[in-house]
Structure 1
Amino acid sequence: MGPLASLPVFFPLETRKILLAGGTEAAAWKAELLAAAGAEVHVYAEDLDPVMANLLKTGGVNGRFVHHARPWGADSFACAALAIADAASDGEAQAFYCAAKAAGVPVNVIDNPPFCEFQFGSIVNRSPVVIGISTNGVAPILGQAIRRKIETLLPLSLAGWAGLAGRVRSTVMERLAPGPQRRRFWELFTDHAFSERDAPEAEAEVAALVEATGVAQTVKEGRVTLVGAGPGSAELLTLKAVRALQAADVILFDDLVADEVLELARREAKRMLVGKRGGRESCKQEDINDLMVELAKKGKNVVRLKSGDPMIFGRAGEEIERLQAEGIPVAVVPGVTSASAMASALGISLTHRDHAQAVRFVTGHSKKGDLQESVDWAGLSDPATTTVFYMGGRMAGRISDRLIREGRSPSTPVVVMAGIARPDEKRWQGRLRDLELGVAALDTSEPVLIGVGEVFDMAGTMAVPGQPEQDLATVSLP
């Protein structure tokens, strides 16, 4: 683990005394927050802002307020769990800070970091699920932006499911065996919690799920999930993919999967590289299949993590057939395929109705490493079709020659991209006749994607939010 600027600690405040000095609006916000956590908030202030006066009058949703119509004093700190103040000056802040330190009470002076022993972070409230976000006081606006991002990911119904989890926990402990069986239950429970549905009031429904889980997965039975990691950036993962990574015992990943994606996996999960790259020494598909079967039969929940989408040139069909033949449960979590990420990065539509009424994804080479002869090359020469070649770097010259021979215009726009959605993304834009030279100009060891079609004539003419052009390496021919 790397260094931490501060330690995130969740501090129960139910019925505990909190000293709050100040009757300002800022103090009122803190008072409301503290009372929501069940605290007994003692407010020391002679003058009250209307917001504070109204709060003291209406009360809190959980804790309670005690108003002392006088300034704080040394006696105010007695039995206090925390001391908070909104000070009008640094002199007043220092006096409060020193008094709290002398009394041994943790102290926070609002918006005055030098006089704070702890900070209030941004909060996402799905109580009993509570998420705190801290930037250690250096970037509060950033903290608020992070909170908004998390808010969009967590349904409001999550609070009900979290409360239900606490009520059925003892039943789960009694009825299900430790390890895979219990974890499988909580994975299913989590899927329900993130489904946007409200938690059931009747616990009989959850009890039925407990029973179904116990029958569906014995302690010795594992399963495999094929997960699409997308083209690179962890931001392009689906929520379901993240949940699968968090539930895995073992992750078998390709060497094209970005490190930031693996960082989202469960810490205890074993990570095994089973890299597969065209033209390089790598794991055989048969060996990967055998490994998945072996691990699943040992009761492991296995994630086969693939770049892009498992079902598009990901050999998923072969893996599913083998697993089903062995009677091993297998599921698929789709990912963003590279062609979609390419279109997004370029700011174009692969099926722009004025230029292309069809799109085809084509493998750039055959099993033997040659040009794929079973492809309908005449159909690919249709100017109303956008074609994207996967893993076609080594075949670029032969691809362009074949398309031109089948009638595609040598001046057809093309784009070549490597490292899509990664910091080192590279691209080349030109014409079909120069495709081989364009691929060579990229000078990259990353697999390349080749886009052919009239829609690519618009590449670079549209702004793409969140993807500044200066962040991308663009290669041109002389």
Structure 2
Amino acid sequence: MPPRSSQPSETAPRRGRRRMEALAVLPVFFDLQGKRVVLTGGSDAAAWKGELLAASGAHVHVFANELGCVFEELIQEGAASGWFHWHKREWEPSDLEGAGLAVCDAADMTEAARFHSAACAAGVPVNVIDKPRFCQFQFGSIVNRSPVVVGISTAGAAPILGQAIRRRIETLLPPALAAWAALAGRLRQEVTERLKEGPPRRLFWERYVDRAFGAPPGRDAGRNIIDDCARIAQARKTGRVTLVGAGPGEAELLTLKAVRALQAADVILFDDLVSDGVLELARREARRMLVGKRGGRESCRQEDINDMMVKLARAGKNVVRLKSGDPMIFGRAGEEIARLQAEGIPVTVVPGITSASAMAAALGISLTHRDHAQSVRFVTGHSRHGRLPEDMDWRAVASRRTTTVFYMGGRTAASISATLQEHGLPGKTPAVVCSSVSRPKSRRWTGTVAEIGEGMAEIGYDEPVLIGVGAVFGALAAASSVERPAVAHA
């Protein structure tokens, strides 16, 4: 009996999806330009905090009987933006009145508690250096491409990790980004006036960002970009569709191009197998619609999905059709592309890692190991009627020198086993069944072709499975068992 059809639905609350996972801390950026900030202590640690505060434009009032040599030198040199005023005495509670922030390098827990209480009484956000119990906010690691500023926090759990992350981000953000960001600030008003809110304006800024990760802006960069505005304003208002491969499940297996597409989307039509971790990388404002394509379960009709893409694109939306695995491998992408092209709607494809590749990586098995296989086949495990495809060349599929991976073959596993043997593949040929590849619930069974039906019964039918057949799996097939993959992908 074919599965029932359903209509696209927003976000699918029945699945418990969240647009934002839990945060250990809330990343907030304080505007301290011209604000009075209180800093107590003259140590090197206090000097570092003082330099950071002054660089943000704060007027830093330092309360300490003595200053270390680092702090003295810092005050003599002056700040890049704000300034320092040294009060050669201990702080008093009245000093905190009206301050924007309060930072203390406390000598002991008693002073830390007293400073924290005084700041709270004055209604001033407080940080006591290296004493998390008395901190209402934290200083994270910083990547400075002002006006672009990236803050990194580990909620105090692993400062060294935060520093390592900062070093990695430093290599990804070119120094020229600062100049591009400053230019964006100067152009923003004119862009706002010349382009309507929505797709035209966002398309402009997407093109702008592409430039920002290249060479520094030249003398005429501003004029060239404004000319871009005029062209965008006169362009057709039809949107576009991008078919994006979400990979087998783990968000880290997404391509960079896929992430960029998700960040630029107005609407995301996603399949039931797309993981929450992948959706977490999408633009927060993007509308999410579950189109529920999953074998053996209630699903949206393909015609309804096609109609929805056409309707949204005609409304000027940038639509991402997010598909599990790779859109071009058993993803019905051909039907969607044909419909969109017939309607004159621009469509592009971002490939994804297909599940068979992720399975091979997880098992540590080369699907084309030269000692065992000269080719690899990806084969559908069922036709549109739910049975094994009748028009398939099963004698070729049963070749002993080929590795074959069956997709969507869980409910036809016993038929796959029998048909392969009928067409000449020995029943003792190694086989593997993997469910939920690359996901936390991933499981595997290893055995032989003759035992595939039994293996499926052990694995179960609740999660998507791949069935691998061929000599390359021989090292895994010493005994049939259900277990997690022993080798994780990189």
Q: Scaled by the length of structure 2, what TM-score is found? A: 0.83
Question: RMSD of the TM alignment (CA)?
Answer: 3.2
Match of 2:59 among 37, 40, 50: 40
The 1:457–1:71 alpha-carbon spacing in structure 2 relative to 1, beyond 3 Å, is farther
1:465 alignment counterpart: none
State the distance in 1 between where 2:45 and 2:29 align. Answer: 22
Match of 1:348 among 344, 360, 365: 365
Greater alpha carbon shift after TM alignment, 321-330 vs 340-349: 340-349
Q: For 1:255-284, what per-residue CA distance to the aligned partner results, in whole angstroms no more than 9, with x for missing partners?
A: 112233333333443332222233444222
2:253 alignment counterpart: 236
Higher relative contact order (CA 8 A, sep 6+): 2
Quote how far apart the aligned CAs of 1:377 are. 3.8
Query: What SS does structure 2 have at the residue aligned with 1:165?
Result: helix
The answer to whether residue 351 in structure 2 is matched with residue 334 in structure 1 is: yes
1:466 alignment counterpart: none
1:182 alignment counterpart: 201
Q: Where in structure 2 are the equivalents of 1:382-461 lying within 5 Å?
A: 382-459=399-476
Query: What SS does structure 1 have at the residue aligned with 2:299?
Result: coil
Match of 1:273 among 268, 290, 295: 290
Match of 1:362 among 374, 379, 382: 379
Greater alpha carbon shift after TM alignment, 395-404 vs 130-139: 130-139
State the distance in 2 between where 1:92 and 1:278 align. Answer: 64
Q: Is the 8 A contact 2:447 2:477 kept in 1?
A: no
Match of 2:330 among 282, 291, 313: 313
Q: Where in structure 2 are the equivalents of 1:47-86 lying within 5 Å?
A: 47-73=66-92, 76-77=95-96, 80-86=99-105
1:301 alignment counterpart: 318
Q: For 1:101-159, what per-residue CA distance to the aligned partner results, in whole angstroms no more than 9, with x for missing partners?
A: 56554332111233333322343433223333445545655655665676666555443
Q: Is the 8 A contact 1:348 1:459 kept in 2?
A: no
Q: Work out the number of aligned pairs and report it.
A: 463
State the distance in 2 between where 1:217 and 1:188 align. Answer: 16
| Unaligned stretches of 5+ residues in structure 2 | 1-19
Query: What SS does structure 1 have at the residue aligned with 2:411?
Result: helix
Q: Where in structure 2 are the equivalents of 1:78-227 lying within 5 Å?
A: 80-101=99-120, 104-134=123-153, 136-137=155-156, 140=159, 154=173, 156-193=175-212, 195-200=213-218, 202-218=221-237, 221-227=238-244
Greater alpha carbon shift after TM alignment, 302-311 vs 430-439: 430-439
Quote how far apart the aligned CAs of 1:61 are. 3.6
1:464 alignment counterpart: none
State the distance in 1 between where 2:225 and 2:426 align. Answer: 62
Residue identity in the other structure for 1:33: L
The 1:371–1:107 alpha-carbon spacing in structure 2 relative to 1, beyond 3 Å, is closer
The answer to whether residue 276 in structure 2 is matched with residue 264 in structure 1 is: no
Greater alpha carbon shift after TM alignment, 135-144 vs 338-347: 135-144
Q: Is the 8 A contact 2:398 2:423 kept in 1?
A: yes
Q: For 1:271-311, what per-residue CA distance to the aligned partner results, in whole angstroms no more than 9, with x for missing partners?
A: 32222233444222222212211222222222211111111
Q: For 1:423-472, what per-residue CA distance to the aligned partner results, in whole angstroms no more than 9, with x for missing partners?
A: 222211112221222122211222211122233234599xxxxxxxx993
Residue identity in the other structure for 2:446: Q
1:323 alignment counterpart: 340
Quote how far apart the aligned CAs of 1:353 are. 3.9
Residue identity in the other structure for 1:244: A
2:484 alignment counterpart: 472
Q: Is the 8 A contact 1:423 1:471 kept in 2?
A: no
State the distance in 1 between where 2:218 and 2:435 align. Answer: 48
The 1:165–1:454 alpha-carbon spacing in structure 2 relative to 1, beyond 3 Å, is farther
Identical amino acids, percent of aligned pairs: 63
Quote how far apart the aligned CAs of 1:37 are. 1.3
